[in-house]
Amino acid sequence: MKNSASGSPRLRTVLLYSRGHLGSAIVFNLLHRQELEIVGLVRASPLFSAKTGYMHLGPLKKTGIRLGLMLFWQRSVELMTYAVAVLLSIVRKGGFLPGWLLAHRLKIPVLSCKNVNDASVLDFLQEKQPDIIVSAYFHQIIRSPLLKIPRLGVLNIHPGWLPNYRGVMNYFWVLQNEEQHGGVSVHWIDDGIDTGALLARARFLITPQMTQQQVLMKTAILGSRLLQQIVRRLAHGEAVPAITISETDAHYYSMPGPLAFDDYFRRRRFFRIRNILRVIFHGIKRKS
């Protein structure tokens, strides 16, 4: 841990990042100026790559071809928009940047991985000597050896209200379940799945026209703010008590299947191009 130019302590942090995931990119853009000294980035391959037209067979078998085509279209739009954003970044400062370019500009070492628990990743993390590790929409399960590396632990921004929404794609399930509010939580990661000590959570209103992508972006922005508050306290040596929860409210959601997606597509849009353009071209409003 070291002090910034303003004298505030900063925690040495490694960010776990999913390449091609808008939530990961939003978190990275919001966190790098805060009470974090990001000393490394561990980057997982995307579940779907528009560059190669490839989606891992496991998720595709579970979700169906319709989602694969939708993700191909969404990722293609994002890549084209990113390309323009990169060109704009040459003549302006402070805008939204894709994760790879942001890491390059900040001179943050990047390690790409197929399995975050591999020895090569553990060696990379040991070398960085992090105070904390932050999981930002990272789609791999983190095992015990890695959890013991950071001095304080591994924090996760989870796009769901815990413990009611454990598991994956909660920004989809909260709409599929026709909830009136979405949620985001920040918790310590333990050996379970979304079962570690809960430090903070927030709810937000879901509007009738909201897409799963908008819910995702909302959780990334609010989750980054919650994490900033937690990190500020940790950096000053303060204890952050866990929130008491009831396991009777706990529910785990797995990857949606084709029938769930078909039902969703009959009622809602999956994403809107204008929402991607708004974030990338106009930046992220910290109070959105």
- pLDDT, one tens digit per residue, over 140-160 is 999 999 999 999 999 999 999
The CATH number fitting domain 8-282, selected from 3.40.50.300, 3.20.20.220, 3.40.50.170, 1.10.1270.20: 3.40.50.170
Pair of tokens at residue 84: 């323009």
Q: Is the pLDDT of residue 189 over 60?
A: yes
Q: Does the predicted TM-score (pTM) go above 0.85?
A: yes
3-state SS of 149-170?
CCCCEEEEEECCCCCCCEECCH
Average pLDDT over residues 222-237: 95
Name the strand (E) or helix (H) holding 32.
Answer: none
Determine the distance from the C-alpha atom of residue 188 to the mean position of all C-alpha atoms in its chain, rounded to a whole number: 14
**Cα 174 from Cα 159, distance rounded (Å):** 10
**Main-chain dihedrals φ then ψ at residue 249, nearest 5 degrees:** -90, -5
Give the contacts of 232 (CB within 8 A, at least 6 positions apart). 34, 35
| Segment 56-103, tens digit of pLDDT | 445 555 666 666 677 776 777 777 776 766 666 655 566 778 888 899
Given a contact cutoff of 8 angstroms between Cβ atoms, the answer to whether 38 and 31 are in contact is yes
Domain locations in the chain?
A: 8-282
